[in-house]
Amino acid sequence: MTETPNPNIIDADTLTGEMRPIRRAVLALGSNLGERMASLQGAVNAIADTPDVWVTGVSPVYETEPVESPVDAKHYLNAVVLIDTTLAATRLMDRALAIEDAFERERTEVKNAPRTLDVDLIVVGDRRNDDEFLVLPHPRAAERAFVLQPWHDLEPEAEFPELGPIAVLLEKVDRSGLSRRDDLTLEIQ
């Protein structure tokens, strides 16, 4: 692995010697094509292998029914990864996209199409962003049991920015298509 996700990008903070803040970030993983568990584990490994990223927790794995997906979509495996990072949110997004590409994620015009791997940034510290490339906090995460439940398992006291405790948000969402898979465990390298 190289020192940065893209060795052609020069990190201005490194050049100036300035300190960058450490931010807590929440990433949601999902897969419903191919070797689902291998894809999730590969994503955890790739995240852990990212310079300036420290994995602090990995949730239990959940199997979930597809949400707003094509009729023939298979069930997902989902998990949440907590990290501490000094990377800028946009660099973290670049890394998430690179990890998806490494697992042959195909992007189509079909909304919520099946995928080998999905890596979503849910929150990155208190960072707010709203452009075509990145929206933070994630605009639909507070409505998704497959994000809130695994996050709650790791941080029961966590708060979703501007919306409040994830425990309260979790009480409001439909959890009927969500089942914890204690037979499946993701490992931190």
Task: Return the active site residues.
Answer: 105, 115, 118, 120
Query: Does residue 42 carry a pLDDT above 70?
Result: yes
Q: Which CATH number does 13-180 carry?
A: 3.30.70.560
At residue 62, what are phi and psi to the nearest 5 degrees? -120, 145
What are the tens digits of pLDDT across the range 71-99? 777 999 999 999 999 999 999 999 999 99
Give the mean pLDDT of 48-73.
89
What are the tens digits of pLDDT across the range 12-36? 544 455 677 899 999 999 999 999 9
Query: Does residue 6 carry a pLDDT above 60?
Result: no
Domain ranges of the chain: 13-180
pTM exceeding 0.95:
no
